[in-house]
Amino acid sequence: MMVGITGTPGTGKSSAGDELARRGYSVIRLVDTLRPYILERDAERDTLVADEEEWAKEFPPVEGIVEGHLAHYLSCDQILILRCRPDILSGRLRKRGYEEEKIQENMEAEALDVILQEVIDRFSPSQIYEVDATTLTTEEVADIVEEVVTGTRNPSYGSIDWSGYLQEAP
């Protein structure tokens, strides 16, 4: 079974992946698989542009966990979307050295449920697990992923609403 962990940058995907690997799970860092598919650097948006469709088409299914911002582009058996309140997310991204424009872009994407909508377009409701990781520890997030892997957690999504943060944005 291939379980994907996706979400906006700063929601805790990599930290959860580190913890799961420490626990003995096979974890693939998707960022490490994208290099051959990079098309250009978009300096205006401070991001790399990849051929996501070709990458996803050529990505071989694996047994284990795939972690990364684009995990929902893959044919995962189960998909977790890690979420984080936009005001907390901005602080995390600021600590990483993100430019203010990029922070704002990611906060808006989180408030607008951009990744959740992409997941809903690609997966059935029985495959989707949305997790508010705002106040969870890395260990707690890893515990939730383990529940998905073992089949002891029920799929659920749609209960997180941060659209109010759009009105607060400067």
Q: What separation in angstroms does the CA of 55 have from each of 14, 60, 101, 127?
A: 20, 10, 27, 22
For residue 78 the two structure tokens come to: 């189960």
**Is 74 a member of any domain?**
yes
Residue 167 pLDDT grade (very low, low, confident, very high; cuts 50, 70, 90): low
Nearest to 32 by CA among 66, 82, 73, 81: 66
Question: What does pLDDT average to over the chain?
Answer: 93
Domain count, the chain: 1
User: In residues, how long is the chain?
Assistant: 170
**Is 170 a member of any domain?**
no
pLDDT, tens digit, 9 for 90 and up, residues 87-127:
999 999 999 999 899 999 999 999 999 999 999 999 999 99
pLDDT reported for residue 166: 78
**Is 166 a member of any domain?**
no
Say which CATH number the domain at 126 has: 3.40.50.300
**Is 164 a member of any domain?**
no
**Is 165 a member of any domain?**
no
Residue spans of alpha helices (H) in the chain: 13-22, 52-58, 86-95, 100-111, 114-122, 138-150, 164-168
**Is 54 a member of any domain?**
yes
Nearest to 21 by CA among 153, 146, 135, 130: 146
pLDDT of 43 over the 50 cut: yes
**Is 150 a member of any domain?**
yes
Average pLDDT over residues 54-82: 96
pLDDT reported for residue 49: 81
pLDDT of 169 over the 70 cut: no
pLDDT of 63 over the 90 cut: yes
137 backbone dihedrals φ, ψ, rounded to 5°: -80, 165
Average pLDDT over residues 18-38: 94
pLDDT of 34 over the 80 cut: yes
Lookup result for tokens 């073992």: 150
Residue 124: give the domain boundaries: 2-159
Radius of gyration of the chain (CA): 15
Task: Put residue 42 in one of left, alpha, beta given phi > 0 → left and psi -120 to 50 → alpha.
Answer: beta
CA 132 to chain centre: 12
**Is 92 a member of any domain?**
yes
Judged by average pLDDT, the poorest of 35-39, 67-71, 145-149 is 35-39
pLDDT of 31 over the 80 cut: yes
Interatomic CA distance for residues 126 and 154, integer angstroms: 8
pTM: 0.92
